[in-house]
Amino acid sequence: MMNLTWYHTLNQPPLTPPAWIFQPAWAILYATIFVSFIIFAFKKYNGSKLWGYIMFFSQLILNFSWSPVFFYFQNVGLALVIIILLDILVLYTIIEFFKVSKTSAYLLLPYFIWLIFATYLNAGIHVLN
């Protein structure tokens, strides 16, 4: 379990949701990300899916690296760089998935929207602290 004491001492930007919202939100998002990937992986497609796989796993690595950088190392600036790159990679993942399955692409839209909001929160914390 992560110690959030440091996080709670930070100045928060407007629209920061209560802390309890993050766990259920991410649980739902990870479920849709997984379903999206499964649909993409098993959908018959005549072209190459290589870039879709590269984008998906690259964004997943960045996704999993953000929390330790932000909360454990308390490096808000580097976390902001990571989440901006994550935004870009998720957008490209959506584009690549759309070529194979519109459904798999649409399932990633809530994730992308949440990431944009999380980028705003990260940027706000970076500016305010």
Task: Tell me the per-residue pLDDT of 79-97, one tens digit each, with 9 for 90 and over.
Answer: 999 999 999 999 999 999 9
Cα–Cα distances in angstroms (integers) from residue 43 to residues 7, 53, 91, 101, 121, in the given order: 42, 13, 20, 7, 35
| Average pLDDT value for residue range 52-66 | 98
Q: Give backbone dihedrals phi and psi of 43, rounded to 5 degrees, phi first.
A: -75, 130
| pLDDT single digits (tens) 17-38 | 998 999 999 999 999 999 999 9
